[in-house]
Amino acid sequence: MNRMTRKGWVWEALATLCVVAALCRVSTVQAAQHWLLHKTRLHPDDLEIGGDLAGVERGETRFVSYNDLLTLPQEAYTVSTDSNFVGTVKISGVALEKLPAMLGAASGAAMVIAICDDSYNAHYPAEYFSAHHPVLVLKVNGLPPAQWPKGSDGSAMGPYMISHPSFTSAFHVLAHADEPQVPWSVLRLDFRNELEVYAPIVPRSRAHDAAVHDGYAIARQNCFRCHASEGEGGTKSPVQWDDLAGKAINAPGYFDAYVTAPKKINSHTQMAASPQYDAGTLAALRAYFATFKETRP
Ligand code: HEC
């Protein structure tokens, strides 16, 4: 009887061990998402990862190596319509929309922001992922970044760039067509909650006014890449959202001229021109920006 009890106790202990082992396995599976991330940069080609990462203090970043990115599931395709390349090229790399989960983004942080060496930010919200399936490029014609073709200004397009298997505009707002977001010289990816990122640029009033609504959709895809608002958006330009609002209200002619042909005003401009924007599109942009100088509801 005594023996039996002891045996029973052993079985029970073994069962408990199994449960503990199973629980540990669950937590190693969760922790495994982080195994690719290093606290410090180990190589100049490491990709910096920031934003909301599970178990990582906000503001801290991590690094993933080029070689480790090559161990993740790769997409491969041939493309002839990517404006960054001349002719047809073979691309391989990782689906951008899969990276947040594979690299341990916090829950809800599914938006990716690609940050370039000049503080240009390309934003990839859920809508963009489902329409275009962008890829973080790791190889071009089978070659690593050092051997990639040069960019339009003759500089290197590495260490990272973003491309698509194909691109068809998913929306048109006035004279703005959904544009491919294909940055190069990408140094860092941030995983973020989309609503939080856009919160500082949601119209401050008249959100249901058609012009304001349209202006917001355009500014969110275009201007937000280089102009920031309350810590969100690109900082390629030192000119912030509030300043653009001031220009839209007090100098509408200057605002319109700058948006359509910045080079005519500033020969050294770093701004992308939008010559296709007609009077209605420019008026919508101004109506939207103006809400940032009006009293909050
Ligand atoms: C590729 C980056 C980029 C994008 C996209 C961009 N800008 Fe700019 N913008 C700049 C930079 C950089 C400057 C600062 C001066 C310069 O380089 O022209 C600037 C300056 C301006 C100015 C002049 C401000 C002043 O104080 O004189 C206006 C107005 C402006 N931008 C409006 C816009 C609007 C509106 C959009 C969206 C439709 C937009 N920009 C999109 C980079 C950009």
Whole-angstrom distance, CA of residue 173 vs CA of residue 284: 10
Closest C-alpha among 143, 148, 164, 185 to residue 47: 185
CA-CA-CA-CA torsion sign (140, 161, 79, 86): negative
Whole-angstrom distance, CA of residue 292 vs CA of residue 256: 17
Whole-angstrom distance, CA of residue 54 vs CA of residue 52: 7
Predicted local confidence at residue 240, as pLDDT: 97
Whole-angstrom distance, CA of residue 182 vs CA of residue 160: 11
Predicted local confidence at residue 25, as pLDDT: 44
> 257 exposed, middle or buried (CB, 10 Å; 0-12, 13-18, 19+)?
middle
Sites in the chain below the pLDDT cut of 70: 1-34, 295-297
CA-CA-CA-CA torsion sign (46, 51, 54, 60): positive
Instruction: Report the atom number in ligand 1 closest to the C-alpha of 225.
Output: 5
Predicted local confidence at residue 136, as pLDDT: 98
Q: What residues line ligand 1, using a CB cutoff of 6 Å?
A: 120, 219, 222-223, 225-227, 236-237, 239, 243-244, 247, 255, 258-259, 262, 266, 269-272, 274, 285
Q: Which residues, at least 6 apart from 207, have a Cβ–Cβ distance to it below 8 Å?
A: 213, 216
Nearest CA to ligand 1 atom 16: 269
Predicted local confidence at residue 32, as pLDDT: 43
Predicted local confidence at residue 85, as pLDDT: 92
Q: Which of 120, 176, 271 to mutate to test the pocket of ligand 1 (most atoms within 8 A of CB)?
A: 271
Q: Which residues, at least 6 apart from 242, have a Cβ–Cβ distance to it below 8 Å?
A: 229, 292, 293
Using the mean position of ligand 1's atoms as its centre, give its distance from the Cα of residue 145 in Å.
30
Closest C-alpha among 277, 289, 284 to residue 215: 284
Using the mean position of ligand 1's atoms as its centre, give its distance from the Cα of residue 241 in Å.
10
C-alpha triplet 53, 58, 63: angle, nearest 5°: 55
Nearest CA to ligand 1 atom 9: 271
Nearest CA to ligand 1 atom 39: 223
Structure confidence by residue, pLDDT tens digits, 160-184: 999 999 999 999 999 999 999 999 9
Using the mean position of ligand 1's atoms as its centre, give its distance from the Cα of residue 263 in Å.
11
Using the mean position of ligand 1's atoms as its centre, give its distance from the Cα of residue 33 in Å.
38
Predicted local confidence at residue 30, as pLDDT: 45
Instruction: Report the atom number in ligand 1 closest to the C-alpha of 243.
Output: 26
Closest C-alpha among 12, 64, 56 to residue 35: 64
Closest C-alpha among 22, 32, 26, 138 to residue 91: 138
Predicted local confidence at residue 41, as pLDDT: 95
Residue type, 238: P
Whole-angstrom distance, CA of residue 128 vs CA of residue 133: 7
Using the mean position of ligand 1's atoms as its centre, give its distance from the Cα of residue 132 in Å.
26
Closest C-alpha among 263, 241, 262, 253 to residue 283: 253
Q: Which residues, at least 6 apart from 188, have a Cβ–Cβ distance to it below 8 Å?
A: 47, 48, 49, 50, 61, 114, 115
